[in-house]
Amino acid sequence: MNLAARVSGVPRPLGIHNVQDLYDGFLAERLEREDALIALGLSFGEQIVRTADFEWVRVSDEYGEETCVAPRGKTVHCAPISMIKKRLMRGEVVDLARLRDHTIEVILKSLADGGVADR
């Protein structure tokens, strides 16, 4: 997230509009630098953490390991780095505030529907 703040030229913590500006700039420039993409994904994840009071978790599965965000103490999660990288690689124009809010909504619905285990 420090890299994202340096690239955007604004102090931390970044707001969603700062993260959106970075995303749009990366999209326009077709930026594929791995460290920059990770920094952007982490910055997007931080928006989810701050908005929904989620926490950072490290998830391992058959595909490898990834830094994710999840409701505190629960096993349901999302992978913000992958979410951002995949959309950038596909050249998608995305409203990150809407994506953040929809992601939180889906995860909270999963919790409300039950079947989500505690960590």
Q: Could you read off the pLDDT of 54-81 as tens digits, one per residue?
A: 999 999 989 899 999 999 999 999 999 9
Whether 59 maps to a domain, the answer reads yes
Whether 68 maps to a domain, the answer reads yes
pTM of the prediction?
0.88
* CA–CA dist 57, 99 (Å, integer): 20
Whether 118 maps to a domain, the answer reads no
Q: Is the pLDDT of residue 10 over 90?
A: no
Q: Please report, rounded to a whole number, the percentage of residues in the chain having pLDDT higher than 90.
A: 76
| Domain assignment of residue 87, given as a range | 2-112
Please tell me the predicted confidence (pLDDT) of residue 4: 55
Which of helix, strand or coil describes residue 77? coil
Q: Over the stretch 93-107, which tens digit does the pLDDT of each residue have?
A: 999 999 999 999 999
Mean pLDDT rounded to a whole number for the chain: 90
Whether 33 maps to a domain, the answer reads yes
95-106 burial, b for 16+ CB within 10 Å, e for fewer?
A: ebeebbbebbee
Mean pLDDT of the 20-42 span: 94
pLDDT class of 118 with cuts at 50, 70, 90: confident
Whether 119 maps to a domain, the answer reads no
Whether 26 maps to a domain, the answer reads yes
Residue 33 carries which DSSP code?
A: -
Domain count for the chain:
1
